[in-house]
Amino acid sequence: MENYRDVIFDSSFGRYLVNSLIVGIVATLITLLLGCMAAYGLARFSFAGRKTIAYTTLMLRTVPLAVIAVPVFMIWSDWRLTNSLLGLILLYVAVNLPFTIWLLYGFVLQVPVELEEAAAIDGCRPWKIFLRIVLPLIRPGLAAAAIFTFRIAWNEFILALVLTDRSTRTLPVAASLFVTDIGVEWGKLMALASLIALPPLIFTFLAARQVISGLTAGAVKG
């Protein structure tokens, strides 16, 4: 208990928590926004190289993060994005976007084209079709993608360690500071670790309620 108190009332815990929340939430929102638009484009409009893009996005996701840590640090330094939350957010968006696109692509394909045509006849312009018909129907996909993205952004360590400083540190990096030259502060480390695990759990629980399969059931003759 004492360890929890020490961790929570440590002057910088609050800041790290806010950092982590900002990074996790903003990265998730941007990823979803870009992901659903890209997935829709891939699924509905034919253009040269569409198949290639669809597959390479998935391949990209198999690259381990540690591999890109060094090059990313160099580029981010050039762009003066190191030690800022924005740099971390951009990175997490880039890392999560391929999987999100691929996931949502599958969900968009499940939406019968006739629904969009019916909406066009009913008076929806393309943007409205996307907002009023497609988005509500791929909500389970959005929720699933949000869970993945948020958890990666929240838990990721190596890139966060490389790209943050004292003021922009996220919680996993902060936890690692309890591993010091003169020994590991196991009590505090464990306390912080369990605190870190909590938000993703809550978030997953909330988002998972949106993942109700069969949302398109009833659109067409089943």
Separation between Cα atoms, residue 194 and residue 176, nearest integer Å = 14
> Reduced to 3 DSSP states, what percent helix, strand and coil does the chain have, rounded to the nearest 5?
75, 0, 25
Both ends of the chain: CA-CA distance in Å? 56
Total number of residues that touch another protein (CB under 8 A): 24
Pick 15 or 139: Cβ nearer another protein: 139
- Under the binding rule (CB under 8 A), the answer on residue 165 touching another protein is no
What separation in angstroms does the CA of 72 have from each of 29, 167, 170? 22, 20, 18
Measured CA to CA, the distance from residue 181 to residue 36 in angstroms comes to 46
CA–CA dist 178, 13 (Å, integer): 13
Query: Does residue 120 touch another protein according to CB under 8 A?
Result: yes
Shortest distance, position 212 Cβ to another protein, whole Å: 11
**Position 22 contacts another protein (CB under 8 A):** no
Does residue 215 bind another protein (CB under 8 A)?
Answer: yes
Of the candidate residues 2, 123, 198, 202, the single one contacting another protein (CB under 8 A): 123
Candidate list 18, 51, 117, 186; residue touching another protein; CB under 8 A: 117
Q: Return residues touching another protein (CB under 8 A).
A: 112, 114-115, 117-124, 128, 133, 136-137, 214-222
